[in-house]
Chain A
Amino acid sequence: MTTMDSAHTTMRFMMSRYVTRFVLLGCLLLLPASGWAQGHMLPGVGPVNAAMGGAGVSLPIESLGALAYNPALLAAAEGNQLTFATEFFKDSPQVTTTVGTTTGQATPTTQFGVLPAFGWMLRDPKGKLALGFGLMGIAAFGADYPADTSSILFAPVPTGFGRIFTDYRELKIPVAFAYQVSPKLAIGASLNVYLGSFGLTPFPGPVYDKSSAGKVYYPEAGRLTDSYGMGVQFGFQYQASPKMSIGGAFTTPQNFAPFKWNSTYADPTAVNYGQARTLEFDLDGPMILSFGVGMKASAKTKVAIDGVFAKYDSVNGLGGSGGIASGVIIPFGWQNVWTFKAGVEHQATDKMTVRAGYNYSQTPIQAGSVISSTGAPVTYQQYFCGGFGMKMFPFLEMVASFTYTPRGHVTGPLTDATGAVRGTVDLSNQRTSALLGMNFRF
């Protein structure tokens, strides 16, 4: 530990001098990500935060939670704190259509997903400025439906959509600062680069081809295409008493450049079938407002309770009108959502800490336009979470957690291209995940 102490001391001395270069170079590092979530955001980031139901906007514990939800929490770091985490998850969407007495069910192919995250925060204990940097998957959705002649939705074109898949991944790269204004108040801000990747085939949007018989054919946009967005996050944390703190954060909307794809004309009966065209779609991210309280019920027990508001309404892409307009499907049509989060951490022994949490989120999918979310079946509402940490060395804690999301349903009308209701669509999904990570302090 002598080497470590020496490094720490030197870090204190030199940090302010090198801070700018340090962060600028650091923010150039990238890691990939993919995932699944609540709304389209993950319920929590990293094993510690996820085990507590994603709660902790006013309770500093480690870097991933701070960088994801409230940069002001960085001010609580003493020295360096690094977290590496990986989430392994699997979902299980189902689409059930009912027309009269006939019922059909489509179950897409599912795969294990892997979602890495890295967070780092540091503060000279003698100074008031703290810094943070992270790379974290924060949002995603996806589905992989085979063509199915017995399905209303997935029958081969032009009767149905035919084989359809979607794949969306979003990575957040925050560079954050926090300042200890007073012994009780810390404020923070982060500049975030977002990397989105999106592909879907066919693309049931406003660009389509219509045959001479009036049949509609949607073009493909399957290649995973990247787009970048920028955003800012502001937050505060106020330690009202040794036992209670409050905090809040505001995340600006994420304005991605439109995704663009090489594609082709899709009407197989037309002479221009297979000829080149380009597609583009603007898919942005929502503004997010978070607030919460943190309590220290005892020397070994911490409790966090949060509320989150995600404003999907009017966000390009996700916040469109949804449903069927002018004979074509408008994707998403999501509504704003409120989320309640609660988590508890208890230090059972000097080496072992246990955590548990619960998270309830409204689904952004509106029943009236449920068909618009077939490719992004984020019907999740309740998350049951648990986890633990084991201190292997004074500077290293191994952390693990598990989340279970029971199947949530959204049922709405099954409409044809004219808007006439032909039956009902029930969209449902469930999700399980396990998270592993390492939490360093030095």
Chain B
Amino acid sequence: MNRCFKVSVLVGCLACLPASAWAQGAMLHGIGPINSAMGGAGVAMPIESLGALTYNPALIANVEGNQISFSTEFFKDGIIIDTTLNGGLTGRATADAHVNVIPAFGWMLRDPKGKLALGFGVIGLAGFGADYPTDNASILFSAAPGGFGRIYTDYRDMKIPVAFAYQVTPKLSIGASMSVYMGSFAVAPLPYTYFDVDAAGNRYYENAGKLDNSWAIGGQFGFYYQANPMFSIGASYTTPQNFSPYKWNSANANPGSPSYGLPTTITFDLDGPAIYSFGIGLKPGAKTKVAVDGMFSQYKGIAGFGGPGGVNNGAVDPFGWRSVWTFKAGVQREFTDKFTLRGGYNYSQMPIRSEVVLSATGAPATFQHHFCFGFGYKMFPFLEMVASAYIVPRQHLVGPFPNLKGEVLGTLDESNKLSGVLIGMNFRF
């Protein structure tokens, strides 16, 4: 393996922000056991606070009294990265997988005699992480400078919305929320433009391993219209999330340099996309509800995710994601006074583009098909215990494996799968 190729492999697997718990683009496919069980659908179907606070604040006008939800999602992914060189040499890297936890809390309230409703939440929206040991048998993870060496990533994104909704007419409600987003991000090493070069031209990438926090503020606006008792429509718009750049103390990483260990500072800007959601809600029976949604996530042009991707000027641009459409459908059926079943399906386009798959090696969000189900059991008149599960079959994306000159040396196959379980409590009083 010549030096140029080694470097291309290293840089190529970009910000090896490996592993991904992301379900569709950068977000979970649904929030909380109820919304998740319905495939994330419900922008025009008020059921509980987590779905409303995540997708459409106008829905909180539907509450009477207080409704509080707590939930926790446990999930695990399974990243595999296969490389095949033109000469036939192949390599496979598999990340150590851990069970991850994402919590959520939502509260909405309205005086039944009033027209104003309020909501508040703390919602885990996204999270990914990977933990690769050094592996000399791997093309990607052999010890530096032959490969990246040992590498880990950790990303967490939390949304804290404060929402208002107003019942304009008996059929129409509008809503808005102001959300604080807290992101936490670490990657070590960060194989981006922060590297040190030895006399032989080998690159050593610097470390950004401490979980660094960054904040953003965004707005969300929505409406909900109950056309008749059996049919409703709704929609919302979420502004882009402009996080301040993540910033890490780091150090020169070239062990052969007199500058080895001297202080450096690394920054990386990773923002969130604008989101357009719209949908319909149907009540074909007194005990059955159906939700069908569409969603557009505008990743293109977003700092971090929406860069050009690929190899540019001898370096790899991270992510290079495109904007994606998502289709969601879910059904809820109340079988008894106490027992409710839910099922859903969610299809999302893949934000990764095959021509720059190299740029997304660190965040292989290849997920497309989400099969979801769940149930709720009313333990007291004021409390329903809820649970759901989902599975996302392994999906592949194959693209060119270029060197830093843009020459194609082989192919790169990134694949991932995902499964999760959610449990929670749903109070009304």
Contacts and interface: CB of A to CB of B under 8 A. Distances in A.
A163 B251 contact: yes
A442 B265 CA distance: 52
Contacts of B210: 144, 165, 167, 199, 201, 222
Contact of A18 (B103, B131, B380): B380
Interface in B66-123: 70-72, 96, 98, 101, 103, 105, 122
Contacts of A390: none
B249 A146 contact: yes
Contacts of A145: 249
Contacts of A147: 249, 251, 261-263
Contacts of A224: 154, 186, 211
A22 B124 CA distance: 24
B5 interface: no
Given A25-B423, A29-B71, A222-B210, A262 B150 contact: yes
B382 interface: yes
A224 B156 CA distance: 12
B134 interface: yes
Contact of A268 (B152, B256, B380): B256
A170 interface: no
B425 A26 contact: yes
Interface stretch (A111-119, A174-182, A303-311, A413-421): A111-119
B368 to A, nearest CB: 28
Given A116-B122, A147-B263, A262-B133, A7 B212 contact: no
B314 interface: no
B379 A21 contact: yes
Interface string A13-49: 0100010011001101111100000000000000000
Contacts of A146: 249, 263, 265
B217 to A, nearest CB: 15
A148 B264 CA distance: 10
Contacts of B134: 262, 264, 274-276
Given A14-B380, A112-B213, A157-B261, A163 B249 contact: yes
Contact of B385 (A4, A25, A156, A268): A25
B381 A7 contact: yes
Given A7-B382, A147-B263, A30 B101 contact: yes
A7 B149 contact: no
Contact of A30 (B103, B182, B263, B425): B103
Contacts of A112: 213
B103 A273 contact: no
B136 A275 contact: yes
B65 A4 contact: yes
A149 interface: yes
B209 interface: yes
A201 B207 contact: yes
Given A222-B188, A223-B131, A276-B135, A264 B150 contact: yes
B323 to A, nearest CB: 30
A4 B209 CA distance: 49
Interface residues of A, number: 55
A220 B260 CA distance: 16
A101 interface: no
B132 interface: yes
A32 B262 CA distance: 34
Best-surrounded residue of A6, A26, A163 (most CB of chain B within 10 A): A163
Nearest to B65: A3
Contacts of B156: 32
Interface in B415-429: 423-425, 429
Given A22-B379, A109-B249, A111-B213, A3 B255 contact: no
B263 A7 contact: no
Nearest to A32: B103
Contacts of B213: 111-112
Nearest to A158: B261
Nearest to B254: A268
A30 B188 CA distance: 27
Given A3-B65, A4-B65, A273-B143, A11 B131 contact: no
Contacts of B72: 28-31
B144 interface: yes
Nearest to A270: B255
B380 to A, nearest CB: 6
Contacts of A144: 210, 249
Interface in B182-225: 182, 186, 188, 207, 209-213
Contact of A10 (B71, B255, B381): B381
Residue among B96, B213, B263 with max Cβ neighbours from chain A (10 Å): B263
A11 B380 contact: yes
A223 B132 contact: no
Interface of B: 65, 70-72, 96, 98, 101, 103, 105, 122, 124, 131-136, 143-144, 149-150, 152, 154, 156, 182, 186, 188, 207, 209-213, 249-252, 255-256, 260-263, 265, 379-382, 385, 423-425, 429
24 contacts: A4-B65, A7-B429, A10-B380, A28-B72, A29-B72, A30-B103, A116-B122, A118-B105, A145-B249, A146-B249, A156-B251, A156-B252, A157-B260, A163-B263, A220-B207, A222-B210, A223-B186, A262-B96, A274-B134, A275-B134, A275-B143, A276-B133, A276-B143, A278-B133
Given A21-B379, A275-B136, 14 more contacts: A25-B385, A26-B425, A28-B72, A29-B71, A30-B72, A31-B105, A116-B122, A157-B261, A163-B261, A167-B211, A201-B210, A222-B188, A222-B207, A276-B143
